[in-house]
Amino acid sequence: MKAGGAVNKDEVIALHEKVLKSLQYDSGLFAASKKDAPTGYGKSWLRDNFYECLAFEVLDEWDVVQKTYRALLDIFKKHEYKIDKAIENKPQFRHEYIHARFDPETFDEFWEEWGNKQNDAVGAILFRVAELEKAGFSVLKDEDDKRVVQKLIYYLQSLNYWDDADSGMWEENEELHASSIGACVAGLKAMKKVGGFDVPEEIIVKGEEALHRLLPRESPGKFVDLSLLSLIWPYEIVTDKERDMILEHVEYHLLRERGVIRYKNDYYYNKNEDGYSEEAEWCFGLSWLAIIYERLGAEEKIEKFIQAMIESEDDEGFVPELYYSNSVETNENSPLGWAESLFIVALHNVNEKTFKKLQS
């Protein structure tokens, strides 16, 4: 049964929650997609786990969230030697950085060549650990946990994250990315508010200065990028003017019928032989915009994106990673955990009256 055909909002959410829970391993980590996905999306990404947990937060399933973050902390503790080394000397090579993906059962790194310079993933984890602490759902159970979190702060400091070209949210070419710098700024500011941790004010200020120099661009090479939405939500790290410019640029340049392209000339799952002009349409972009506009109280925009979001479900009722450009064909990564989670958050936030109006 397609979730969009369900009678009420709670039924739709329950169907997608079941799908999302099916991606969680006994360890607490989530796969990016189906555990047996031929694309390798059965692995666990730090960033994906951050976003996959957001659904369970709005559903008040804090035991699920805490289990996942306990596992993430265990990953950092297992690889603490690498963090120590990076604090002592700024990494020079990708493999010296905290890796982006881990085996969801052993917590081992994957060692094939990959864009492992992803500073935003570390910023994201710090941000949510701090938010959970403030909300009364602490995942910091002992001094070992606190020690490794403190080291993550020093890790970002050692990287000079505000001036460290990384692979960004899409794990591709290394540039200064606003979305990466912003995630780190958000994480450090949140940790400073928690108290009990050494968060040098200087590294927050340098990050903020670098971020506002880049905005509204994502990077020197990208004028606009889907990842910029993260600075509006969940991080809330931009000014109102920057927020409005980001939304205007994303909708004008990147919005498509079944999703939002990541950026112009994106070659990932691109149908053109030359890799241009047929960018894949990412479904979670619709949910992301719906979430943001719900927070802004823009009713027409909310209805527009909730409707588009529901229509993006595939024939099995899953939210896929993407649709090929101008087609009804999805790629193999369906359901995508991150997309399922943002779908749930968006639908949870919208009122029942609006949902029923869309169903009529």
pLDDT value, residue 2: 54
Contact in structure between 34 and 23 (CB atoms under 8 Å): yes
pLDDT tens-digit series, residues 318-352: 999 999 998 999 999 999 999 999 999 999 998 76
pLDDT tens-digit series, residues 244-272: 999 999 999 999 999 999 999 999 999 88
Burial class (CB in 10 A: 0-12, 13-18, 19+), 186: buried
Count the neighbouring beta carbons within 10 Å of the beta carbon of residue 251: 15
pLDDT tens-digit series, residues 299-312: 999 999 999 999 99
Q: Residue ranges per domain, the chain?
A: 43-214
- Residue 5, pLDDT > 80, answer no
Average pLDDT over residues 194-217: 97
pTM: 0.95
Average pLDDT over residues 9-19: 95
Q: What is the DSSP string of 44-100?
A: EEHHHHHHHHHHHHHTT-HHHHHHHHHHHHHHHHHTHHHHHHHHHS---SGGGSPPS
- Residue 360, pLDDT > 70, answer no
With b for 16 or more beta-carbon neighbours within 10 A and e for fewer, the 202-227 pattern comes to: ebbebbbebbbebbbbbbeebebbbb
Average pLDDT over residues 35-63: 97
Share of the chain above pLDDT 70, in %: 96
pLDDT tens-digit series, residues 107-129: 999 888 778 899 999 999 999 99
Rounded to an integer, what distance in angstroms lies between the CA atom of residue 321 and that of residue 355? 23
pLDDT value, residue 275: 79
Parallel/antiparallel/unpaired status of strands 44-45 and 101-102: antiparallel
Mean pLDDT of the chain: 94
